[in-house]
Structure 1
Amino acid sequence: MEYTRLGDTGLEVSRLCLGCLNFGSGQEWMMNDRDGSIDVIERALELGINFFDTANAYSQGESESILGEAIDGHDREELVLATKVYFGMGDGPNKQGLSRKHILDQVEGSLDRLGTDYIDLYQIHRWDENTPIEETLSALDHLIDEGKVRHIGASTMAGWQFSKALYTADIEGYERFSCLQPEYNLVDRHEEANLLPICREESIGVIPWSPLAGGFLADKYNRDSTVPEDSRAETDEYTQRRFTEENWQVLDEVRAIAETKDSTPAQVSLAWLLHKELVDAPITGPRRIDHLEENVEALDIELTDDELSRLEEPIFPQWPVEGKD
């Protein structure tokens, strides 16, 4: 396993982060298998992965509790645990968003489910239009002062929102976001025109989610074939919207390059991200141990400048894009 620093912090993380969205129940595409989920996490630890990303809203806390059970007994100082707050955790008022009350309430639940005294990276899952960013940053700053959180990060939002959060932290003396979690992969490159230039300028760590585009870049689908049963695209309209001609052209190049390297499309797609200087650790979400092992082997794949250009040529990044503004 290779390791790197997260942004400009001193925190050392594995070059691949294990995403824990699939470790839970409630959707057909999830693992729906607690023991099997723990097996995947334990194999990730054996492979040298020390960075794990989850969220309180993933299966309403089930993902966090599975991760907490799996890491019990391991050296906590070697692990980097990341989780998130924003989405609803029940009915009624004050059960969602980024208010001071919701953040301080929810961090306690996350700590309990993870079985830890502190969270290495606590992230806002989305932007909250109904709460002043000053209130959110103040609450996060308090958690750092209390020792319950070590670093803070953000996820999907518009560039102006992220810039406002960084500026507000600077002028008010609050802790800055040190990490950003954007959607970023070979067919979803809109963040190159939105958040990534800000991250480059501000030395923010980047940990992309959906590095394989919901399985599209793992070669799960074909132009002229029906969607496989039990795949995410069977029920997920978001994944189905990736079935565009320019995206198929990208996948054609991925397949061609993978064949020349005796590798898989998933490995080539991950290797492209790992070649991006801004990217610290793509968040992979395998449901099977063999897929996890396949992902880790992407670290050994070298791509030439010509190959990188071939992979990128079909798409022109732009923001906003439909469904993401």
Structure 2
Amino acid sequence: MPTNDNQKISVVEGMKKFNMPYVRLGNSGMQVSRICLGMMTYGTPKWSEWVLEEEQSRPFIKRALEMGINFFDTANMYSLGVSEEITGRALNDMAIREEIVVATKVYCPMADGPNRKGLSRKHIFDACDASLKRLNMDYIDLYQIHRFDKDTPIGKETMEALNDLVRSGKVRYIGASSMYAWQFAKAQHIAEKNGWTKFVSMQNHYNVS
């Protein structure tokens, strides 16, 4: 396995060779490949029968890097953490950390217990630390809320907690996923009103077919 940056795959070479287009992520200054590799497929078939195990997953991740893809999106709940572990091992082995953008998510239950799910300050902090450990990385480029939590105050609790993660250096940017437009707008308004970090991205349910 690669042991230093000289042996790793630079997405810059793939970007030039395959003309991989790059765009800004939302209104941030961070550049991402127009194609993002979703990591939900990589984990353990114990979670879902169509999921590929680590050995089968690595060639896809390697090829993505070779083609100039620098954007990788996983979530803590994919294969109950195994996807993050595979993502972290593969990218730490193959990629140059400063060139890639790693995204993961928080919300879904990871275990039994009243505080092991949702968007409370406690769960967000605990889940972020657990994701960093599984990824074996010092920071997460894009930390996304996987759903809207109707049982937790989006303002004083969720958005402030996310802002604190950014201020701590554990997270670079925050994003959202799978919610109504008014819920997203409410969260953005609260963040702007309080001078907190705002979402730079939103993953919608969208079928191109």
Partner amino acid for 1:178? Answer: V
SS at 1:72's partner residue?
helix
SS at 1:21's partner residue?
coil
Which among 22, 26, 30 is matched to residue 3 of structure 1? 22
Shift of 1:185: 2.4
Q: Partners of 1:165 and 1:92 in 2: how far apart?
A: 26
Is structure 2 residue 40 aligned with structure 1 residue 21?
A: yes
Is structure 2 residue 131 aligned with structure 1 residue 110?
A: yes
Identity rate, percent: 55
Q: Which residue is equivalent to 1:55?
A: 75
Q: Partners of 2:207 and 2:32 in 1: how far apart?
A: 20
- The C-alpha deviation readout for 1:116-170, integer Å capped at 9, x for no partner, is 1000000000000010011001110000010000000000111111111011111
Q: Which residue is equivalent to 1:171?
A: 193
Moved over 2 A (4+): none
Q: Give TM-score, length-normalised by structure 1.
A: 0.56
Deviation larger for 33-42 or 136-145: 33-42
Partner amino acid for 1:89? Answer: M
Matches within 5 A, 1:97-136: 97-134=118-155, 135-136=157-158
Residue correspondences, number = 186
Q: Partners of 1:76 and 1:186 in 2: how far apart?
A: 31
Q: Partners of 1:160 and 1:153 in 2: how far apart?
A: 15
SS at 1:7's partner residue?
coil
Q: Partners of 2:147 and 2:81 in 1: how far apart?
A: 17
Shift of 1:95: 0.4
Q: Partners of 2:91 and 2:51 in 1: how far apart?
A: 20
SS at 1:178's partner residue?
strand
Is structure 2 residue 45 aligned with structure 1 residue 40?
A: no
Matches within 5 A, 1:83-232: 83-134=104-155, 135-187=157-209
Q: Partners of 1:88 and 1:70 in 2: how far apart?
A: 25
Q: Partners of 1:8 and 1:166 in 2: how far apart?
A: 13
Larger Rg: 1
Alignment root-mean-square deviation, CA: 0.9
- The C-alpha deviation readout for 1:302-323, integer Å capped at 9, x for no partner, is xxxxxxxxxxxxxxxxxxxxxx
- The C-alpha deviation readout for 1:263-302, integer Å capped at 9, x for no partner, is xxxxxxxxxxxxxxxxxxxxxxxxxxxxxxxxxxxxxxxx
Alignment gaps of 5+ in structure 2: 1-19
Alignment gaps of 5+ in structure 1: 188-325
Q: Partners of 1:161 and 1:57 in 2: how far apart?
A: 22
